[in-house]
Amino acid sequence: MGHKPNTLKVKHRRGLWSPDEDRKLRDYIINNDRASWSSIPAKAGLQRNGKSCRLRWINYLRPGLKRGTFTLEERETVLTLHRMLGNKWAEISKHLPGRTDNEIKNYWHSNLKSRNSVKNEVSQSPSAARQISSSMSSICLQSLKTANNGSSLMGTSSVGTTACQPDTPATKFASETLTPKLLFAEWFSPDRRQQEFPDFLGGYGEHPNDCLNPITSFPDYLLEELSFEEGSFCSNFNAPDGLNFPSPYELQGLISGEEEFDSTQKIDYINFSDIHECKSCL
DNA sequence: AAGAATTCCAACCGCGGTCTA
DNA sequence: TTAGACCGCGGTTGGAATTCT
């Protein structure tokens, strides 16, 4: 991070962004190597400060952002993760492809905050809590079970047979009400993405956290493969040659913290339609 | 129809952490 | 070691849009 003193005293524009400003910022970022945010406004011909540009890009202009109302699944994910993490909006947004921390925060304040207190009362009931927990965890369990049967979820890599047995790390993990979206997001974590797609940031990958959203900086062929229609995170997905994902066995190790992911190991690809089908069983 | 109240969300603000000279 | 520049995050605000009376 070069720290050149910012000697230019510019009267910065504030308020809503015009389409022309959006175009200038987008064009500049897409067509140029990543510079510091404070230098971008001048180079892009904008009378904004760098902070404002950064916010506009992250929350509005970035490719891969999902607009529109939150799906039921997203809503549940927000509720679950907020229960686990509190107001860690950036953390929560990592598990919601296409959603920004700001969007999630706004959604929480306008839709969930007041209603959640009611829901909390419901979840105080052990049976209600069990029901919610089991319905969400069954998704994970079913996915892992499918994988263990040697069918399509994880392909044909060497798979242990313990994932669905009681008290295994995977079972424990699933029983803690994590949804498949969490698993999904872990595979596509910013760190791994940074390692595996260093060239897909459009000159924007100086820091892994520059693009917190796991999907945002994906190459086009991945964005095309991953369907982000309302109501669905999962679609048939065949990774191109050279991409590796953890096998269920590795996954168990990752979940339990016993193993580190070895991205060099060749494994087969994920068919997310199984997760999708599983969700429809709920 | 019109003013008031409410909702929603884009944008701003301030703080803390990181990095570099 | 320290000061200053920068970045990212969470909290807050302001105004446009919508709903209510």
Q: Which of residues 34-93 of A touch strand B (CB under 7 A)?
A: 48, 51-52, 55-56, 59-60
pLDDT > 70 fraction of chain A, expressed in percent and rounded: 35
Note the pLDDT of residue A233.
31
Q: How far is CA A127 from the centre of its chain?
A: 31
Note the pLDDT of residue A114.
59
Q: CA A255, CA A142: separation in Å to the nearest integer? A: 16
Longest Cα–Cα distance in chain A = 65
Rg (CA), chain A: 21
Report how far apart, in Å, the C-alpha atoms of A124 and of each of A11, A38, A119, A130 are. 53, 48, 9, 10
Q: CA A202, CA A225: separation in Å to the nearest integer? A: 19
Q: Could you tell me which of A135, A158, A136, A175 has the C-alpha nearest to residue A255? A: A175
Residues 6 or more apart whose Cβ sits within 8 Å of residue A104 = A78, A89, A92, A93, A96
pLDDT tens digit string along A71-98?
Answer: 888 888 888 888 888 888 888 888 888 8
The integer distance in angstroms from the CA atom of A49 to the C1' atom of C2 is 27
Residue nearest to nucleotide C3 (CA to C1'): A3
A115 touches strand B (CB under 7 A): no
Residues 6 or more apart whose Cβ sits within 8 Å of residue A219 = A197, A200
A111 touches strand B (CB under 7 A): yes
A99 touches strand B (CB under 7 A): no
pLDDT tens digit string along A149-190?
Answer: 333 222 223 222 222 333 333 333 333 333 333 333 333 333
pLDDT tens digit string along A200-256?
Answer: 332 233 333 333 333 333 333 333 333 333 323 332 233 333 333 333 333 333 333
Domains of chain A are 11-63 (1.10.10.60), 67-114 (1.10.10.60)
What nucleotide is nearest A106 when CA is compared to C1'? B9
A102 touches strand C (CB under 7 A): yes
DSSP character at residue A18: P
pLDDT at A259 over 60: no
The integer distance in angstroms from the CA atom of A108 to the C1' atom of C12 is 14
User: Per-residue confidence at A258, pLDDT binned at 50, 70, 90?
Assistant: very low
Contact A158, A249 (CB under 8 A): yes
Nearest 10 degrees: Cα torsion A16, A20, A26, A31: -150
The integer distance in angstroms from the CA atom of A259 to the C1' atom of C12 is 42
Per the prediction, chain A carries an average pLDDT of 53
